[in-house]
A = this chain, B = another copy of it.
Amino acid sequence: MKRTNYCGDITASLLGTKQTLCGWVNSYRNHGGVLFIDVRDRSGICQVVVEPSKPFFAEASAVRNEYVVEVTGTVNRRIEGAVNKNMKTGEIEVVAEEFKVLNTSIPLPFDVDKSLSVAEEIRLKYRYLDLRNPHMYANLLLRHRIMQAARRYLDGQGFLEVETPILTRSTPEGARDYLVPSRVHHGEFYALPQSPQMFKQTLMASGIDRYFQLARCFRDEDLRADRQPEHTQIDMEMSFVTIDDIHEVVEGLMKEIFKTAGKDISVPFPKLSYHDAMEKYGSDKPDLRYSLEMKNVNDVFKNTGFKVFKEVLAAGGAIRALRGEKGAAYSRGHLDKLTELAKKNGAKGLVWLKVKDGALEGPSAKFFTPQEMSALKEAVSALDGDIILVGSDANLHTCQTFMGALRKELVKELPRQSEWAFAWITNFPLLEYIPEEDRWDAAHNPFTAPVEEDLPNLEKDPGSVRSYQFDLVLNGNELASGSVRNCRREVQERILALMKHSKEESARRFGMLLNALEAGAPPHGGIGLGLDRITALLAGEESIREVIAFPKTAQAVCPLTDSPNVVDDIQLKELGIEISKE
């Protein structure tokens, strides 16, 4: 390789030396007959000077943006007025002695340094230009470093990286599977894994003891804004462990990953039960950078004359209140928006009370006694100039959920208590009832083990059974979901039976795992962490598409390769499939 150094590394320490650069023309200008070319590579930019006396001056003068050049020259100090203190290479320039155009470029649809403001569809179609933007390179570099840090840490903890198949069996549950027709076996299909769940549990039954993989997972979901048909999971599983063991490993992993990005986080992470998370924050992925909590004010209104609250309490429902700091200043329009938000999240209405001169004001204020108002104010520690939002519903979960949505809105105006607020959410229920189908479903994952002492109640009172399921949340995002698994076939089958899977169906869908469980499976548990989301958070990006080299649009299309696309008839014929008439 002729290159002696990356552009961004040619600093004053190399003054007087001869260097060869390779890179792209970032910009060029002729200044008083002398040509100045900024050459860019992944490391940065270096200014090249081409003097008019040079035999290659004409060739160099013909370059345009994004031409690829190779330049050899001597590192020189820039004249006083030309020094750029904001650039690593701003003190120097390379005076060209050799100059070669390695490749040309057609005129481009957008400037590389402005690519981030181009419409996303266009950015993705010309992703090779978009990725030349230093911001995008920084994102890919960060992702690379996170991946290496994760593997180095897990390797050091005795985990084995094992690759599990991409062409595997359809086990319809959760999302839809992507299917792959088999050419050799007519009428049969492989499926792409939604996660390596059954394989990693099988690896525990295989005595691997500690497994990890940066695993590609595939879900054919109805696409939402920030979902991708394929995503990457830092996937792991461990034998002979408790929940605390898993937490400890993941805390160490996150510390390592954040260190790689120059961030120091403290471990262990706080633990919060699902019950408390819902009760205090109205969410199972609360944003704990903010201390705002909602308050149970059932007692405040236990004798109320306000019909709505009275009926809610009579039905065994919930009344919850939130303090909105300085919210007394909210306009009618703002309050309507908050009410809309609550309704969109299941509320029938919303009571608001502004605190002004010690009194509570608002359309519903007239329904409350002075004692109720005073107790309400105290419950949420409201001060003059605040607003109090009070929600109620006959269904506790509904009330918590829409109040949680309001909390999320209110905290936007509050100061953060920390930059990174991690928490473990624990003690999820094992099962939840699906009334439409008159059956129980796994609250999270059908493989999660019930808490041992709740096991006798599994059939008697399925809804009361706690699980060894947990989530990791960060700044209001769910980063990971894990659990201790069922290691006995009998227990696993009882749970599948509650989910109304017949024995035959269970065997068909989960046969491999059930067979492994009865052949000496060790107690085990694990977790899968969303690499895309972790990287996006550390990169300060809203969308995971900014940290994926070649993402798909919300319509699951790749504008770069134009996939999916039609295929040749002969291919379908060989596969033994036909496209249905629409």
Contact = CB atoms under 8 A, between A and B. Distances in A.
A226 interface: no
Interface in A223-241: 223, 229-230, 232, 239-241
A127 interface: yes
A465 to B, nearest CB: 21
A541 interface: no
The 8 tightest CB contacts between A and B, nearest first, are A105-B520, A131-B206, A66-B520, A169-B563, A188-B564, A169-B561, A182-B564, A128-B205
Contacts of A172: 568, 571
A160 interface: yes
Contacts of A40: 207
A182 B208 CA distance: 36
A395 interface: no
A302 B542 CA distance: 77
Contacts of A188: 564-566
A140 B162 contact: yes
A66 B565 contact: no
Contact of A155 (B148, B521, B577): B148
Interface string A539-571: 000000000111010011110111111111001
Contacts of A523: 68, 102-103
Given A137-B208, A167-B218, A160 B144 contact: yes
Contacts of A520: 24, 66-68, 103-105
Contact of A128 (B24, B144, B190, B516): B516
A268 B371 CA distance: 88
Nearest to A156: B148
Interface string A229-264: 110100000011110010000000000000000000
A202 B582 contact: no
27 contacts: A1-B240, A3-B240, A22-B239, A22-B240, A41-B207, A105-B519, A132-B207, A144-B162, A148-B152, A148-B155, A163-B549, A164-B549, A167-B229, A167-B563, A167-B564, A169-B562, A170-B565, A176-B183, A178-B190, A181-B181, A186-B580, A186-B582, A187-B579, A198-B561, A199-B549, A512-B561, A577-B580
Interface residues of A, number: 125
A284 interface: no
A375 interface: no
Copies per assembly: 2
Contacts of A528: none
Given A148-B151, A165-B558, A68 B24 contact: no
A149 to B, nearest CB: 10
A209 B22 CA distance: 10
Contacts of A292: none
B189 A565 contact: yes
A489 to B, nearest CB: 9
Given A24-B520, A520-B68, A574 B176 contact: yes
A311 interface: no
Interface in A486-538: 487-488, 511-512, 515-516, 518-523
A147 interface: yes
Interface string A29-43: 000000000001110
Given A68-B521, A165-B558, 8 more contacts: A42-B207, A103-B520, A129-B519, A132-B206, A164-B549, A167-B178, A179-B180, A185-B556
Given A563-B191, A565-B170, A549 B162 contact: yes
Contacts of A199: 549-550
A232 B163 CA distance: 9
A573 B176 CA distance: 13
A216 B207 CA distance: 25
Nearest to A560: B512
B127 A184 contact: no
Contacts of A94: none
A130 B108 CA distance: 57
A229 B40 CA distance: 41
A192 B170 CA distance: 17
A502 to B, nearest CB: 15
A166 interface: yes
A180 B548 CA distance: 21
Contacts of A181: 179, 181, 577
Contact of A131 (B132, B207, B216): B207
Interface in A191-227: 191-192, 198-199, 202-203, 205-209, 216, 218, 220, 223
A299 B494 CA distance: 82
Contacts of A189: 564-567
Nearest to A532: B163
Given A567-B189, A577-B580, A180 B182 contact: no
